[in-house]
Chain A
Amino acid sequence: MKPRVIFTVVFFALGLIIAAVPQSRTMQYRVGADDMLEDLHGKSQFISPDEVAAFLVEDNPVIRLIDLRSPEEYQAFHLPGAVNLPMTDLLNSDYRYLVDQDMMLNVFYSNGSVKANEAWMITSQLGYRNNYVLEGGLNYWAEVIMNPERPSSTSPDEEIARYNFRMGASKALGGDAGAETAPADVEAPLPAITKRPAKKRASGGC
């Protein structure tokens, strides 16, 4: 076969392929792969359930919980004050104001932490800031906040203090532990929840 015929056939084949595939709209990655890997390793996107509980108990207006599960699951149970943004609507332009903003500290959560991590990766690659992930998701939340495990009486003070806090938070946020009385060997039945500064300053301006 003549080389020109081969060239023509090859180019037509490539042209057909490129005409058949959907137009590639490569997203503009504002976060490089290296930075993303570093963030993932540093686990800097995680907010612990204790931190979130503290925010909720003190009614901190800066925090916004975003429930990534389906509306049905959201109806069945959700964290106090959480808004429902199903994963499928994450990039819906109607809800972009929720995830691309400078005012609030968003905490994504789902049952585990996989979905929330995905949401965090997508939004941070789009350059949206102030988004975090609830460490361990609702499962871990239920384990440590709603039904905190009572430490043994020989546990270090910090652990007992953390247990106290979790009992208090559970009571305030309507968990099972709230119904019980605080254990006798714990000095303060209701923990003092100290006011914490917001993790990220809400930046205003025009």
Chain B
Amino acid sequence: MGPLITNGIISPETDLLLAFIIGIGFGFVLESSGFSSSRKLAGVFYGYDMVVLKVFFTAGITAMTGLLFFSLFGWIDMDMVYINPTFLTSAIAGGVIMGAGFIMGGFCPGTSLCGAAIGKIDAMVFVGGLFIGVLMFTEGYPLLEGLYNAKPMGMVKISEILNVSDGVMALLFIAMASGAFWLAEWFEKRSKKVEY
């Protein structure tokens, strides 16, 4: 049955509409969970609020488990699901840049738009910086092209590299998430309370 677009069950136009609705839902949940506050987001780096880590790990393992069960029931053909190709060097470089921006600005791209939408000036500045970054990357692409395309690994999964089944990888990832939750709460208890 799935993927719905690839199998022509929903049209690309309907897909855009669904993406729009899901996007609104995502923004709403981010805002109502307090993710439009840069202090809450920065908390994950200072150890006083680990909600961000917990939310994204939960989202990850929920989607992962759901997809694997859908595949098991034959509801989705995982071979037809698009996996972003991996470019190792640029992934590491991008991760470092994104992380640095996250610590400095207290937002990630999605939450900055959330913050800007409710009128936070720091979020608007962050969004401005985001567009400047996009412009710089686009204009500077010829200089960055080598780095951008370095070490192409194709559409790989960690489970393929480790040569284990997707299910075993999922279990490892769930164990990792649980460990991270436990560590995160231990950090939260240790660090001094910050009022924000």
Contact = CB atoms under 8 A, between A and B. Distances in A.
Nearest to A28: B77
Interface in A1-33: 4, 7-8, 11-12, 14-16, 18-26, 28
Contacts of B177: 11
Nearest to A4: B181
B74 to A, nearest CB: 5
A1 B177 CA distance: 20
Contacts of A23: 165-167
Given A11-B61, A11-B65, A19-B165, A24 B170 contact: no
A7, A11, A20, A22, most chain B CB atoms within 10 A: A11
B76 interface: yes
Interface residues of B, number: 25
A94 B148 CA distance: 43
Interface string A100-111: 000000000000
B178 A12 contact: yes
Contacts of B181: 4, 8
Nearest to A20: B167
What is the interface of chain A mostly: helix, strand, loop, or mixed? helix
Contacts of A20: 167
Contacts, number: 59
Contacts of B104: none
What is the interface of chain B mostly: helix, strand, loop, or mixed? helix
Contact of B79 (A7, A16, A28): A28
Interface in B158-186: 165-168, 170-171, 173-175, 177-178, 181
Interface of B: 58, 61, 65, 68-69, 71-72, 74, 76-80, 165-168, 170-171, 173-175, 177-178, 181
B77 A18 contact: no
Contacts of B168: 19
A145 B78 CA distance: 48
Contacts of B165: 19, 22-23
Given A8-B178, A11-B174, A28 B167 contact: no
A8 B171 CA distance: 12
Interface of A: 4, 7-8, 11-12, 14-16, 18-26, 28
A16, A21, A23, A28, most chain B CB atoms within 10 A: A23
Contacts of B76: 26
A18 B7 CA distance: 25
Contacts of B178: 8, 11-12
Contacts of B65: 11, 14-15, 18
A25 B175 CA distance: 25
Nearest to B166: A23
A16 B168 CA distance: 8
B58, B166, B167, B178, most chain A CB atoms within 10 A: B167
B55 to A, nearest CB: 12
Contacts of A7: 58
12 contacts: A4-B181, A11-B177, A14-B65, A18-B72, A19-B170, A20-B167, A21-B72, A24-B68, A24-B72, A26-B74, A26-B76, A26-B78
A15 B71 contact: no
A20 B78 CA distance: 18
A18 B71 CA distance: 10
Nearest to B177: A11
B74 A18 contact: no
B65, B166, B171, B173, most chain A CB atoms within 10 A: B171
A24 B74 CA distance: 8
A157 B178 CA distance: 81
